[in-house]
Amino acid sequence: MEYFLTEEQIMIRDLARKIAQEEIAPRAAEYDEKEEYPWDVINLLKESEFMGIYLPAEYGGMGGGVLDLSIVVEELSKACGGVAVTFAANALGTFPIVLFGNEEQKQKYIPKIASGEYLAAFGLTESTAGSDASNIKTTARLEGDHYVLNGTKQWITNGGEASVYTVIAATRPDRGARGLTAFIVEKGTPGFEFGKKEMKLGIRCSSTRELVFQDCKVPVANRLGKEGQGFAVAMKTLDKARPGVAAQAIGIAQGALDHAVAFAMERKQFGQSITSFQAIQHKIAECATRIEASRALTYATARMIDAGSDNFSKESAMCKLLASDTAMYVATEAIQIYGGHGYMREYPVEKFFRDAKITQIYEGTNEIQRNVIALEVIRDAKKKK
């Protein structure tokens, strides 16, 4: 299907695909088994100038947008979801600075992120603040020219590896969502340490760690936006980042389907290839259709964001919801097409299955996405009355 990509975007896609097929896919099982951060791939992405592909040219980026980012994430995900999320999470940690940073903050951090010198991470989730993002317990107390942070963030992608963290903390705990504030915290800041590294079902080569703050002093100059604006920073960031999760899910689904079709063409039962059986054909057709629908919606949403729309919460939630449910569906059907082989670790589709599940959970569970979509639809209906 033609997605009307520019010549530059086609070049970006083809280069990302080459890296994925030649450098990542042959080692995907190894990355998964060892659970080691894929610095070799990150360094290769730096050399390819992909780290700044979505960042403004005036800060050292390539001047692309969410669609360019999504194209790369999708291609990487076809080979390994874990590698892809290390790349995508860098954007998640950077978007708050792009959206809410002042000029001094942008000049200080974005060029280093764009060049790959710095990796970024996003510190929102806590043990009591998952779907209820307003229930943050990490506090930030103003003392003169700095804030003192105390608390623990949980399940932070790129935790321990990133150099820069955008962190949401409560400056007015009594005010709930209106009492949250966003900060830029650098690795190595006294009082900022890393907790346990999580052992995960999927995306196992990505680093998922706790962020621990114990009387951590962060300069007032590192506050993002105004006090009390932290919840808005988090929500606007997630709205802009969710197409990247959708792209990851699409890549995982496409990778799983590609392997399943190739296997089905070779697999013989009752004296013929199993692709001759209508039951298998219907599975392939359903998977392919869901993938194309997910990709079309995701690309349309990314273009909407890049065009400067000021309200895309509904569309962002929709593409993340559809694509991640598609990834889980396709990965499940891919295993079914493989039969018993699909359950074995020597075949690739069981990894796609494990990697797919998290796309339904992080950056907002799909239950939360349905809430967002429904509220937007109801709000629009009320406006028409």
What residues are labeled active site?
A: 363
Residues 67, 50: Cα–Cα separation, whole Å = 13
DSSP tag of 209: E
Answer yes or no: are the C-beta atoms of 178 and 190 closer than 8 Å. Answer: no
Burial label for 152, CB within 10 Å (0-12, 13-18, 19+), is middle
Strands (E), the chain: 120-123, 139-143, 146-157, 164-170, 180-186, 192-197, 208-219, 223-224, 268-269, 272-273
Name residues whose C-beta falls within 8 Å of residue 54's C-beta, 6 or more positions apart in sequence. Answer: 61, 62, 64, 65, 66, 68, 69, 91
Please name the residue that has the structure tokens 């790369």.
Answer: 72
Could you tell me if 310 and 304 are in contact, meaning their C-beta atoms sit under 8 angstroms apart?
no
Report in angstroms the alpha-carbon separations of 78 from 40, 252, 275, 352.
Answer: 18, 5, 22, 9
Number of H helices, E strands in the chain: 11, 10
207 touches 195 (CB < 8 A):
no
Contact 251, 75 (CB under 8 A): yes
Give the single-character DSSP code of 151.
Answer: E
Give the pair of three-digit tokens for residue 178: 């209106």
Q: CB within 8 A of 270, min separation 6: which ones?
A: none
Distance CA 294, CA 325 (A): 10
